[in-house]
Structure formats: C-alpha cells, structure tokens
Amino acid sequence: MFRIAYRSNLCPHTKSADIDRIVAIANSRNADLQITGAWMLHDGDCLAAIEGPPLAVREIMDTIWDDPRHTDVNLMHMEQCDDRLFSGWALRFLPKKAVEADPQLQSHAGLTWLSGFAGGLNAFYAPRQTGAPTSAAH
C-alpha cells in the first residue's frame, strides 16, 4: 500500500456547499477504490492524507492536483505502508469543530501522524493571524 500527505489552500470562491459535494463524491469514489483518508480544514488551510493501492492513490491524487477549488497543492510526504492509519474512513472531513467535539479524534494515531506535518493538532487548528496590526503594535 501507499500513503501520501499533502497540504493546500482552499480558494476563496469555494463555499461550504462545494465542500459538501467534494466530501460526498470523495467518500463514494474512495470507497470504490479501497482508499481511506482524512481531510483537515482550518481557515482555508487543507491538510489531507490518502492511503491504499498505489495506482488508486495516484489516480485520486491526479484529480485532486487539478481541482480548481483549491490551490498550492504541496505534497508533504509519501511512503509505502503495510497498515492503514485511517481505517474505516473513506474520507473523514475534519474541520476544527469536529475534532474539538471528539476526544478520541484528538488522540487518533492517523491524525497525530498527519497533523505532525503542520506542527501538531493544536498548531494546525490554532487561530490564524489575520495580518492586521493589533493595538499592541502601536
């Protein structure tokens, strides 16, 4: 089997209805191809992993790469593996609220591994700086 982790930025025009559509299609297609995975999303920042048969991972990754609903797709990691880290999830969608609400997710081995590419779960889901100057800066 093969596993990859990637990071990307959701485009500003991608709305929650688009996300719902992506997750629905991904769940059915990944299940057909024996792919499992997770998609963490916070403030437009995507961190995701898929794993499964190498050719299937490649096929899915080709479509993800070209998907105009996100940009700056950055392949963070790829590895051969014997076991799945995301068993039972065709593509689990994980906005901050979902992870906050479920302590089991906070210690999930796959999410610990995936979020490691962004400094850990807390760092990934931390409030983002807007770039606007704060009053303390004056």
Chain centre to alpha carbon of residue 105: 14
Residue 25 binds ligand FMN, judged by CB under 6 A = yes
Say if CB 24 and CB 100 are below 8 A apart: no
| Contact status: 43 vs ligand FMN (CB under 6 A) | no
Provide, rounded to whole angstroms, the least separation between the CB of residue 138 and ligand FMN.
38
State the minimum distance, in angstroms, from the CB of residue 132 to ligand FMN: 27
Rounded to whole angstroms, the Cα distance separating 122 from 113 reads 13
Site for ligand FMN contains 3 (CB under 6 A): no
Quick check: 22 binds ligand FMN (CB under 6 A)? yes
Give yes or no for residue 111 binding ligand FMN (CB under 6 A): no
Our finding on whether 26 is near ligand FMN (CB under 6 A) is: yes
**Sheet order of strands, 70-80 included:** 70-80, 2-10, 45-52, 36-42, 92-95
Task: DSSP letter for 88, please.
Answer: T
Q: Based on the number of CB atoms within 10 Å of its own CB, is 41 exposed (0-12), middle (13-18) or buried (19 or more)?
A: buried
- Per CB under 6 A, which of residues 58..97 are in contact with ligand FMN? 60, 63-64, 67, 69-70, 91
Number of residues that bind ligand FMN (CB under 6 A): 18
Distance of CA 119 to the CA centre of its chain: 14
Minimum CB distance to ligand FMN smaller for 70 or for 108: 70
